[in-house]
Structure 1
Amino acid sequence: MSAFLSFISVVAAWTVLYWDSFPPLLNRWNTEDYSYCWLVVPLAIYTAWQRKELLPADSHPAAKSGYFVLLMAGVFFFLGKASAVDALVFGSMWLCVLAVILFIYGWQSMKAFFFPLMVLAFAIPPPPFINNMLTFKLRLISSDLSVRIMQFIDIPVYREGNVIDLGMIQLHVVDACSGLRYVFPTVLLGILMAYWFNHRTWQRLVVVLATVPTAIATNALRIAIVGYIARNISVETAENFFHDASGILIYLLSVVMLVGLSMFLNIFGGKVAGGDMPRRTYGAPAACNSPMHLVVMAVVLACMFFGYQSVLSGRVIPERTAFDSFPMSFSDYEGKREYFNDDIVKSLGADDYLSGVFMDKTSGRNILALISYYNYQEPQRAAHNPVSCLLGGGGWDLTTSVDLAPDPEAGRPFQVRRLILQRPGQRLLALYWFQQRGRTVTNEYLNKIYLALDSIQKQRTDGALVRLELVLDDGETVEDGQKILDRFISNFNSLLAPYVPE
């Protein structure tokens, strides 16, 4: 009975600690990209039940390892909360599950629990900027392959980055309508299929490694089918297929291909019943013989909760001037303010923003300026690396990303990150930096570290992301464009103090 009560106490403390983290986690699960996560927990429980015979009959808790994992869970929790990275908080949840297993069964149980824990890790959605950068590269490969398929079947097509131009229709291969949103569930499916249907280690490895190429190839086929429909049936039918039914159909095709690969490996690779090594049955799982460790864990989780409430729950929001009063005419620049629609404002997650196009009267060039400001930052509403936004559409491809040292003589006394993007016939020079709580940084990870430190020391997480863009003229060098933006920064940045508090 004491073991049962100690386990209940851990579950209760775990639930209270992560209570405010469940809504953002479930919100991510409710998106189309991560809807498969709803199946992950039941699958992890089912695979654990399948492997229950591998549990040792005589368990010995791994107390030292359990407390170390619990310590890491606490570190991940506080770092995630302080730096507004919810993936770290979700990872902390997973580490707590591992700690409970170690406290009850010890390392001897990892033969049974390793695979279920690996499956359970798929319930953690990766940070959006990592997901965007990963899938962008895959989209480019998929787009190029689809163009080659259409050219092979004599369909005229032109590609600019991730934009497929068929003349009568343009296809933007972005996450919102891309079969590549099924990459993660396809990888998970491949892991499960390899575990259930293949028994040699090398066969399982082949199936898992084939998942990403399969997702790329089937998505390229999907785009080629859309091109064929647009050319031979109707544009309307092609658009409906592209945005509605094609994603799930292509996912089913990926499933069929992986099943076929698995069967082929079993037939021609030599199926061995029971796996590479005979499975050993250890008998019924033993009861927890050290409930005290679970009681201590419950107390630690409770202390983490009260520590979070006392250290990180308070917010200091400094006074500032709203961007509505920002001067659109200054020095040699004449600007025109732009406003986003509600959907873009919601996705931006900012409390205030400035978007405008400023004409440089000296050079006659237009400079796009965008500042997103946050009174406080938390997961799902924080300044982030804008690369994924710049690459999200319009056919741009990133060619260069470098940090530029401060150049006081040019009027820019701080470091900026310079991006060079291009598409056929055009080049774009973009600069950005994080201007937050008196610091100017360009590295997103360093920015998260400062965010965590200031959250603990100052209870401040306010800050802004500043982004400037200039379309380069034909024959214009990057350095010439940089001089234009540096001159703009020297005038523009001096106006920001009332709007972005130090």
Structure 2
Amino acid sequence: MAAVLSFVFVVAAWIMLYWDSFPSLLRRWNTADYSYCWLVVPLAAYVAWQRRDLLPKVITPSTGSGYIALLLCGVLFFLGKASAVDAMVFVSMWLAVVSLVLFVYGWRSMKAFFFPLLVLAFAVPPPQFINRTLTFKLRLISSDLSVRIMQFIDIPGFREGNVIDLGVIQLHVVDACSGLRFVFPTILLGILIGYWFNTRAWQRIFIILSTVPTAIFTNALRIAIVGYLARNVSVETAESFFHDASGLVIYVLSIVLLASLSLMLNLLGGRLPEQRAASRPGYHGHSTGRAWHMFFMAIVLGGYLAGNMYLLTGRVIPHRTSFDNFPMEIGNYEGKREFYGDNVLKSLGSDDYLAGVFRDKESGRDILVLVTYYDYQESQRAAHNPVSCLLGGGGWSLESSRDLPPDPQVGRPFKVRQLLLDKPGQRLLAYYWFQQRGRVITDEYMNKVFLAVDSITKQRTDGALIRVELLLNKGETAEQGRKVLENFIKNFSIRLKPYIPE
């Protein structure tokens, strides 16, 4: 009875600790990229039930490893909260479950629970930077392979970056239309197929290693099919297939390919007989010891909750001037403010913003400006790398990204990150930087580090993200466009000081 009550206390403390993180997690699960996560928890529970006979007959709690996992859980929780990185908080959730398993069943039970816990880890959506970096590189490989397939079947095609020109149609392989959004569920699928249908370790490893090449090949085949339809049926049919039905079709094809590979490996290498322990009528252990460790775990989780509430109540929000009073005439530039609707403001999550277009009175060149300011930053309302926003909206493809060092000679005493983006017929030059509590930072991850440090040492998480963008004229080089942006920034950056506290 004591063990049951302690278990209830742990579950209640776990729910209370992560209560404000559940909406963020479910929001990620509801996106097209991570909708597979809804199946992960029941899958993990089913696999754990399948492996219950592998539990040791005598159960001894592993207190040392359990408390280490619990400590790591707290470290990741506070780091995730302080730096506004949801992924750390989500991993902390998973580590709390691992800690509970160690307290209840012990380290020897990992023979039964390691695989279910591995499956459960896929319920944690990976950080955006991992997804963005991985899929960006894989899209380039997939696009190149698709062109080679089309050329093999005598369909002319030309690739430039992620744009594939078929003559009658141009395909822009962006994240939203890429079959590579199935990379992570394909990896999970390979793990499950290897577990259920193969018994030799080398076969399972081979299947898992085959998942990413399978995702690349099927996506390339999808694009090649679109090319065939465009040339031999109609452009409308090709576009409909590319944007609508092809993703699901390709994922089903991935299942067929991996299942066929599993069958082939069994035919070539044989299948070991499954070694299952005899059914055990019951398990024995020290229930009183487990109860005390679970009860103490509940107290520790409650302590984490209290610590988080203390950090929130001690938050410092500095005084500043509102962007409502920002001057819209800067040197030779005359600006016109833009105001966003509720949906855009909700996605920004900022407390104040400046959006507008500044036009050079002499040349007529327009410079787009967006400054988002946050009184405090936390999950779902924090300054973030704008690359994903630029790539996700408007069909832009990233051509290059690099830091520009401070250049006092042109009136810019701080470094900025330069982005060069393109899409058919257009090129965009963009600068951005994080201006946060007296620092100018261009690296998103260093920004998160300083956010965590200042949250603890200063109890401040305020800051801003500044973006300036210029559409390049036809034939204009990035170097020429850079001179236009530098000329604007030298006056604009000085005007920002009253609006972004140091």
How does the TM-score come out when normalised to structure 1?
0.90
- Do residues 253 (structure 1) and 248 (structure 2) align? no
1:243-288 C-alpha deviation (Å, 9 max, x unpaired): 22221111111100110111111111222222xxx55569444345
Mapped to 1, the partners of 2:236 and 2:222 lie a distance apart of 16
Structure 1's 320 and 157: CA in aligned 2 closer, same or farther, altered over 3 A?
A: farther
Q: What is the match of residue 91 of structure 2?
A: 91
Give the stretch that moved more between structures: 145-154 or 123-132: 145-154
Aligned partner of 1:40 in structure 2 is: 40
2:153 alignment partner in structure 1: 153
> CA 1:184/1:285 → structure 2, altered by over 3 Å: closer, same or farther?
farther
In the alignment, structure 1 residue 3 sits paired with structure 2 residue 19: no
Q: Does 1:379 align with 2:389?
A: no
Change (3 A) 1:231 1:117: same
In 2, Cα distance between equivalents of 1:297 and 1:359: 60
**Distance verdict in 2 for CA 1:395–1:150, change over 3 Å:** farther
The code of the aligned residue for 2:243 comes to H
SS at 2:284 equivalent: coil
Match of 1:286 in 2: 284
Q: 1:249 to 1:453 in 2, by over 3 A?
A: same
- Residues matched between the structures, number: 498
Name the TM-score, length of structure 2 as normaliser: 0.90
> Alpha carbons of 1:313 and 1:266: their partners in 2 closer, same or farther (altered >3 Å)?
farther
Of 329-338 and 212-221, more deviation after overlay is shown by 329-338
The answer to whether the 8 Å contact 1:57/1:282 transfers is no
Following the alignment from structure 1 to structure 2, what is the Cα–Cα distance between the partners of residues 166 and 351?
A: 45
Say which SS state the counterpart of residue 159 (structure 2) adopts.
strand
Mean Cα deviation higher: 304-313 or 328-337: 328-337
In the alignment, the residues of structure 1 paired with residue 60 and residue 110 of structure 2 have an alpha-carbon distance, to the nearest angstrom, of 12
- Percent identical: 67
Partner of 2:497: 497
The 3-state SS of whatever aligns with 1:312 is helix
Contact 1:83–1:448 (8 Å) recurs in 2: yes
Distance 1:489 1:36, change over 3 A: same
Matches within 5 A, 1:314-325: 315-325=315-325
Q: Which amino acid aligns with 2:208?
A: V
Displacement, 1:489?
1.9
Contact 1:412/1:489 (8 A) holds in 2: yes
Change (3 A) 1:177 1:479: closer
- Indicate conservation of the 8 Å contact 2:337/2:356, yes or no: yes
Q: Is structure 2 residue 399 aligned with structure 1 residue 398?
A: yes
Where does 1:358-369 land on structure 2 (aligned, <5 Å)? Answer: 358-360=358-360, 365-369=365-369
Alignment of 1:416-455 (within 5 A): 416-421=416-421, 428-455=428-455
- SS class of match (1:56): coil
- Quote the residue 2:225 is aligned against: 225
1:79-478 counterparts in 2 under 5 A? 79-274=79-274, 278=275, 283=280, 284-287=282-285, 289=287, 290=289, 291-313=291-313, 315-338=315-338, 344-360=344-360, 365-392=365-392, 394-402=395-403, 404-421=404-421, 428-470=428-470
CA contact (8 A) 1:105 1:288 kept: no
Partner Cα distance (1:323, 1:147) in 2:
49
Q: Which is further off, 205-214 or 313-322? A: 313-322
Select between 4-13 and 474-483 the one with higher mean Cα deviation.
474-483
Task: Summarize deviations over 1:223-261 as a string: whole Å, max 9, x none.
Answer: 222232233333333333222222111111110011011
Q: Deviations over 1:108-127 (max 9, x none)?
A: 11111111111000000112
Deviation at 1:8, TM superposition (A): 1.4
Contact 2:434 2:440 (C-alpha < 8 Å) held by counterparts: yes
Give unpaired runs (5+ residues) of structure 1. none
Partner SS for 1:71: helix
Matches of 1:3 and 1:352, distance apart in 2: 50
Deviation at 1:173, TM superposition (A): 2.2
Q: Which amino acid aligns with 1:229?
A: L
Distance 1:352 1:242, change over 3 A: farther
Could you tell me whether the CA contact under 8 Å between 2:376 and 2:461 is conserved in 1? yes
CA pair 37-424 structure 1, distance change in 2 beyond 3 A: closer
- Deviation, 1:172, is 3.1
Query: Could you tell me which amino acid in structure 1 is paired with residue 73 of structure 2?
Result: A
Q: Deviations over 1:194-213 (max 9, x none)?
A: 11111111111111111111
CA contact (8 A) 1:399 1:422 kept: no
Structure 1 window deviating more from structure 2 (383-392 vs 298-307): it is 383-392
Q: Give, as a single letter, the amino acid of the residue that structure 2 aligns with 1:173.
A: V
Pick closer, same or farther for the CA change 1:224–1:341 going to 2, 3 Å: farther
Cα distance change of structure 1 residues 338 and 216 upon mapping to structure 2, 3 Å threshold:
farther
Q: Which secondary structure does the structure 1 equivalent of 2:23 belong to?
A: helix
Change (3 A) 1:282 1:64: farther
- Contact 1:55/1:282 (8 A) holds in 2: no
Give distance in 2, aligned partners of 1:353 and 1:205: 50
Is 2:430–2:468's contact at 8 Å kept on the other side of the alignment? yes
Unmatched runs of 5 consecutive residues or more in structure 2? none
Cα distance change, pair 322–151 in 1 and its aligned pair in 2 (3 A): farther
How far, CA to CA, are the matches of 2:459 and 2:395 in structure 1?
39
Displacement of 1:429 after TM fit? 4.0
